[in-house]
Structures are given as structure tokens and as C-alpha cells.
Amino acid sequence: MTEIIYAPMREKYLEHNHKDTKCPFCNYNRRQEYLVQEGNTCAIIANKYPYLYGHLLVIPKRHITDILDLNKDEDKDLMLLTKRAIKMLKKAFHPDGFDVGYQTKMGGGTLDHIHFHIVPRYKGDTGFMTIMENANIISEKPEIMVQKLRKKNNLF
Ligand SMILES: [Zn+2]
């Protein structure tokens, strides 16, 4: 006979559809000014704490903490929205390139809910402030950047 050990603390790891009320990415649509565009299973939002101007995030709508837990629809949506975000940023701000990727908590990421960074790069963006102070100067609030991005891509 198999022994059954009940471990209620593991329930949250089994249930990936749970909505973490404290997680800002589960509540991505609460602050509309950061929302760039929604897909079926994922969304493009502005990073509230941008590394550089135009820094966007693509997130799955479900609270997923491991890239391996993305389902096929999310895989597809994630790449589709990543490409769409790059296209929109190119059209709006003409960056010279992009850094695209994701971090786990171990890699220095601060949030459980996986999120893919799309950071537009501009020639000379690693300037004096970045090197001396490990800080970037962002000339505009992300909310304003989102307005411009949406306007230039006819999303209103
Ligand atoms: Zn979440």
C-alpha cells in the first residue's frame, strides 16, 4: 500500500493558475497607463523601473515562475508579443538595437512571476552615469513613454 503524505504547503506549486494578489504582474491591468498591448495569454507592459528609455516587459497572464511551465499557447504568444514590442519600439523611438531576455530570481531578478525584458539600446547609452554611478538617466516617466509608443503605433 502506498503511503500518502499530505503536504498542503506544496499546493501553490501545483496550482499555476492561482492569482497572487501581491504580484504586480498578476495585476498588470490594474494600472492601465503601463499597459501597452494585450495578447490572448500574455501582455506587453512598460517596466515601472526602466533600465533605459522604452524598457518593456512581456509577461504571461498566469502566475508562472518557471519558463518550463509555459504552455504552447504562451510560448507562441510570448514570441509574438516580443516581436511586436520590438516592432513598436523601432517605429516609435528608432533605437540602435535591443537587449532581450529574462532573469530568474537566482540571476538577480526580483519577482517570481516570469517576465521578459525588452530593453532598447541607443548608441552611447552606457554613458558616464552608468559607469560612475551604476545609474541611468531616464528623461521621461514610463507612463508618458507608453502614451507616445501607443500613439506612434496607432493603438488608441
Ligand atoms: Zn504573478
Does residue 132 carry a pLDDT above 80?
no
SS3 7: coil
Higher-confidence position of 148 and 5: 148
What is the 73 CA–ligand 1 centroid distance (Å)?
A: 18
What is the 25 CA–ligand 1 centroid distance (Å)?
A: 5
Separation of CA 10 from chain center = 26
Instruction: Please provide the distance, in angstroms rounded to a whole number, between the alpha carbons at the two ends of the chain.
Output: 62
What is the 129 CA–ligand 1 centroid distance (Å)?
A: 32
Residue by residue, DSSP assigns 103-119 as --GGGT---SS--EEEE
- Comparing CA positions, the residue from 53, 69, 55, 57 lying closest to residue 25 is 57
Q: Domain-by-domain residue ranges, the chain?
A: 8-152
> How does pLDDT run across 68-108, given as a tens digit for each residue?
999 999 999 999 999 999 999 999 999 999 999 987 776 66
What is the 58 CA–ligand 1 centroid distance (Å)?
A: 13
Does residue 14 carry a pLDDT above 60?
no
CA distances from 5 to 2, 9, 10, 12, 147 (A): 10, 12, 11, 16, 52
Catalytic residues: 115
Q: Residue 70 is placed in which grid cell?
A: 509555459
Cβ atoms 125, 52 nearer than 8 A: yes
Query: Can you give the pLDDT at residue 130?
Result: 59
Q: Residue 108 is placed in which grid cell?
A: 538577480
> How does pLDDT run across 46-71, given as a tens digit for each residue?
999 898 899 999 999 999 998 999 99
- What does CATH list as the number for 8-152? 3.30.428.10
Average pLDDT, the chain: 83
